[in-house]
Chains A and B, each alone.
Chain A
Amino acid sequence: MSFQLRQELPREQRPVEEPDFARWRDADDAKAATFHRISGGFLVRFIDRADFVISLADKVVTCLPTPDISERSACDLYLNQIVPMLRGYEGELVIHASAVAIGGRAAAFVGRSGRGKSTLAAAFARAGMPFLSDDGVGLTPDEGGYLADPNRPSFRLWMDSEAEVVLGQAAPAEQEGEKSRVDAGETLPFQSEPLPLGALYFLGQGDSAQPVISPMPRRQALAELLNHSFFLDADDRERMKLHFEALTSLAETIPSFTLDYPREYDRLPSVVRAVSSHMSNRGASSESVRQD
């Protein structure tokens, strides 16, 4: 990616004159980010956390953090959210997913923020299956399929996920502060080379009492990918058209499934087993798997 980051001193977020043209919402459906067109580029506001001013002509991103956010968290926002958007702007395909290596192929877990992508990928890594990314998966067309590209060798996890999944300890009674950054290592192996993408798993809401994997129709997969891919400017019709075509090819080429499971830490090993088995057995007569 050709953009450079410039960091400014913390300041409170000021009202933005230009109206937003897009909004992101978190798992609780609260507004988490807004997108504004400004002279020369865009302003992306992560509410109460940081503003990013994107200047297209000189390819500079200026970060204006609020006083309440740590420098590390502002950096994480830039790397996990702004960089994938800009990669998309420059023609790459990046989906909002985590990814792990299973049997020489990548499995991508797609879902909105708070759905459990990072925690699930950490569970796989803890079980010995290296992770490629905890948030944001770049996909490169390759020989009739796609290569999933490794991202940063670290996770961003809430304290309870770090405690339960990584450290094998009981979660703290109360959640405090920001997510922790947990680096790859012996406990959490990292896949540093691209792998062929084997499947897309779209995470359900946690309504299922046990891990359930079901085939997803391609049209539905495309609709989900439109909602879970990084795309900066919906008014840029030529880029939008190319993005749509790229996602259509992805939905046509890579098998997609819904994956739902109870969001309980002690059930994660069964999810890991179910998905591992599913990836290994793909090509068997039945694509629907229910795992106890």
Chain B
Amino acid sequence: MNLSDKIELSSDVVSREVGSETMLLNLASGTYFGLDPVGARFWQLLEEGRTAAEARDVILNEYDVEPALLERDLEALIGDFVSHGLVSVG
């Protein structure tokens, strides 16, 4: 997948901030998934209705990170979201 794909967050997911990080709980499967601060910010932006590409651009403005590296990490993160049933990709 890539960042231009449409991402839909599962309605079964509950997120809670814990310190500077975020925990996602999939109510359907009972499994949980932890996010570091950048991952937490990405999830928050998706929750706000941003596309993955828009979220990437916001994060690039907020964090000192190499664009290619960030894109690769976000694509891998989306893959993790999919495998944990947290999002679907159209």
Which positions in A face B, CB cutoff 8 Å? 217-223, 226, 234, 237, 240-241, 244-245, 248, 251-252
Contact = CB atoms under 8 A, between A and B. Distances in A.
B23 A240 contact: no
Contacts of A241: 14, 25, 27
B90 interface: no
Nearest to A238: B27
Contacts of A223: 23, 32, 34
A219 B25 contact: no
Q: How large is the interface on B (under 10, 10 to 19, 20 to 34, 35 or more residues)?
A: 10 to 19
Interface in B1-34: 12, 14, 16, 18-19, 21-23, 25, 27-28, 30, 32, 34
Given A240-B27, A252-B19, 17 more contacts: A217-B19, A218-B21, A219-B18, A219-B22, A219-B23, A219-B34, A222-B32, A223-B32, A223-B34, A237-B27, A240-B25, A241-B14, A241-B25, A244-B16, A245-B16, A251-B18, A252-B18
A218 B19 CA distance: 6
Q: Is the interface of A mostly helix, strand, loop or mixed?
A: helix
Given A219-B18, A219-B34, A241-B14, A248 B27 contact: no
A77 B32 CA distance: 28
A244 B30 CA distance: 10
Given A219-B34, A234-B30, A237-B27, A244 B21 contact: no
Contacts of B32: 222-223, 226
